[in-house]
């Protein structure tokens, strides 16, 4: 079933807001306008990755280089990391959307003591024009805000999450959103930029009510400038059920064309990293589906609210956590074997099928609970620099054959002829040759396969050959018996004893021969066999004489 190659469902140039039944099939342009060291490690290659004083994010990168050198290097990076060739490849692969992480400093709001440099916007606008020419929609995502909302490197600065500790941080974030959407409007990009994410992955310890107030104000700002045509989405804080009441029925405001974004990763959790391929597929098809389906509902029986669902980040990586130690590994230590490639394809398709499922498709997996219409996904990431991160690289997956090319306006299951149930049945139920967690999990030994793949193939080949041989032997025996039967019917047998001897293997025919060969063996009896029949002598002859 590895010859599964195809996929997808979307209408070119039509904003999601105008065609909400159509699915998002997108990629993230990560590591571009907000640096992430692991995505493009060559930018940080001059420093020892294990030195705690080495740059780890965009803040420390520019801080170490100084603004002049940082500007020079980042201008080159912004100009080359996303090129027209990549956009051509994405369009050819059937991608309909790109999600673009940006930091607040893209607006030029860089205060004294902040090392960031600006100048990203012209490259963003150029990419947006390329996307428009190829029928790809652009969704902006505010990935970094003053003080950091999560303390991750992708928020601009690794460390503490202090965004909610200062009203000034919140106000600067709101001002950045207004500046960005006004520039989108002024430069005629409102039909190309069709989505806006208000805050990427806010930490679970962020002040919940302050964050919701920020969402309401940002929503009003975007609607005032760009109207209802642009989709607005928020992160689920890895707790989707916490948003069942939000932006519903005027609570606290009446919102339309809004989405809740979930991020699904297995490679950061040891319990998931240790799973067999079959368990990974089941985890996606059943448990991640149920996780996404926790929001957004209201009333009894439950009815979907205005807050629709999609997955803003997912990947094909399943058992290895990104780290400097992993980056030291040789690509030869984890080759793309047939078994690994087969599983990657199964794992990717399982997520695609699940993340754009209709309520009817989800029903068998939800134990009687109602299902939502999932609106699609964005894979993380569109490309990676290091070979060790191949499973995060969408375009590489397409080239290597473990990510299918997508067909627009075609349902994934229809295109591939596969369902989650099919993928669960096909996936390998052991870890040999596929799963090797990194960092190593203490005490993990894996689930060994009953036989190694070569022995399985050899055994199956031998069994198939034996079955074919047995069938041919049986067929030959039946043909021989049929031929012998026809010959026996033409032989006049002279005695009861001889008749029994030659018919020992065909008792059903013995009686017929007996009736046609009477004990009176005179020449007159030859008329029974035909005029030209030869009459055997009455003396008993050995069986060999008849042959």
**Among 207, 296, 293, CA closest to 246:** 296
Contact status, residue 259 vs residue 310, Cβ threshold 8 Å: yes
Bridge partner list, 197:
141, 233
Using DSSP, state whether 207 is helix, strand or coil. coil
Using DSSP, state whether 295 is helix, strand or coil. coil
Helices (H), 409-506: 412-416, 420-426, 453-489, 496-502
Helix axes 121-133, 84-92, angle to 10 degrees: 40
Contact status, residue 318 vs residue 274, Cβ threshold 8 Å: no
Give the residue numbers marked as catalytic: 201, 313
Compute the Cα dihedral for 21, 25, 29, 34 and give only its sign: positive
The contacts of residue 520 (CB under 8 Å, 6+ apart) are: none
The contacts of residue 236 (CB under 8 Å, 6+ apart) are: 242, 243, 260, 261, 262, 295
Helix axes 167-186, 208-226, angle to 10 degrees: 20
CB atoms within 10 A of CB 341: 17
Tell me the two tokens of residue 506.
């065909």
Write down the residue that tokens 């919701």 correspond to.
212
Ramachandran angles phi, psi of 416, nearest 5°: -95, -15
CB atoms within 10 A of CB 167: 9
Alpha-carbon gap, residue 350 to 316, rounded angstroms: 10
**31 φ/ψ sector (left φ>0, alpha ψ -120 to 50, else beta):** left
**Among 414, 263, 289, 401, CA closest to 343:** 401
């Amino acid at each position: 079933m590895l010859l599964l190659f195809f996929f997808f469902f979307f209408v070119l140039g039509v904003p999601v807001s105008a065609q909400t039944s159509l699915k998002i099939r997108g990629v993230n342009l990560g590591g571009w306008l907000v640096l992430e060291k692991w995505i493009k490690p060559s930018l940080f290659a001059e420093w020892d990755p294990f030195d705690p004083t080495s740059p780890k994010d965009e803040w420390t990168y520019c801080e170490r280089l100084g603004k002049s050198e940082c500007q020079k290097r980042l201008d080159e990076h912004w100009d080359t990391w996303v090129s027209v060739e990549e956009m051509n490849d994405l369009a050819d692969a059937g991608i309909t959307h790109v999600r673009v992480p940006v930091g607040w400093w893209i607006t030029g709001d860089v205060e004294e003591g902040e090392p960031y440099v600006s100048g990203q916007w012209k490259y963003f606008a150029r990419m947006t024009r390329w996307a428009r020419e190829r029928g790809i929609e652009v969704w902006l995502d505010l990935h970094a805000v003053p003080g950091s909302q999560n303390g991750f490197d992708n928020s601009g600065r690794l460390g503490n999450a202090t965004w909610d500790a200062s009203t000034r941080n919140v106000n600067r974030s709101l001002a950045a959103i207004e500046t960005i959407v006004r520039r989108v409007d002024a430069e005629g990009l409102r039909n190309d930029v069709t989505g806006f994410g208000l805050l990427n992955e806010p930490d679970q310890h962020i002040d919940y009510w302050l964050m919701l107030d920020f969402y309401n104000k940002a929503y009003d700002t975007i609607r005032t400038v760009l109207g209802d045509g642009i989709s607005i989405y928020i992160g689920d804080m890895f707790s989707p059920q916490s948003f069942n009441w939000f932006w519903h029925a005027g609570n606290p405001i009446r919102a339309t064309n809004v989405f809740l974004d979930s991020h699904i990763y297995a490679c950061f959790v040891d319990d998931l990293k240790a799973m067999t391929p079959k368990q990974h597929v089941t985890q996606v098809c059943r448990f991640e589906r149920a996780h996404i389906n926790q929001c957004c509902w209201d009333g009894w029986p439950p009815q979907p609210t205005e807050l629709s669902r999609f997955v803003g980040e997912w990947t094909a990586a399943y058992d290895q956590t990104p780290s400097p130690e992993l980056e030291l590994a040789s690509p030869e230590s984890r080759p793309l074997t047939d078994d690994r490639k087969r599983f990657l394809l199964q794992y990717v398709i399982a997520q695609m099928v699940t993340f754009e499922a209709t309520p009817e498709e989800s029903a068998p997996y939800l134990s009687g609970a109602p299902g939502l219409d999932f609106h699609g996904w964005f894979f993380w990431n569109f490309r990676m620099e290091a070979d060790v991160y191949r499973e995060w690289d969408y375009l590489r997956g397409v080239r290597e054959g473990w990510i299918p090319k997508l067909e627009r306006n075609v349902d994934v299951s229809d295109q591939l002829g596969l369902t989650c149930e099919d993928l669960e049945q096909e996936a390998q139920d052991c870890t040999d040759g596929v799963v090797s967690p990194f960092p190593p999990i203490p005490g993990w030994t894996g689930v060994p396969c009953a036989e190694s793949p070569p022995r399985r193939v050899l055994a199956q080949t031998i069994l198939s050959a034996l079955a074919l041989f047995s069938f041919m032997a049986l067929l030959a025996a039946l043909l021989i018996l049929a031929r012998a039967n026809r010959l026996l019917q033409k032989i006049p047998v002279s005695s009861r004893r001889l008749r029994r001897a030659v018919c020992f293997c065909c008792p059903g025919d013995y009686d017929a021969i007996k009736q046609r060969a009477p004990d009176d063996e005179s020449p007159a009896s030859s008329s029974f066999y035909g005029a030209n029949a030869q009459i055997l002598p009455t003396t008993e002859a050995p069986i060999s004489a008849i042959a």
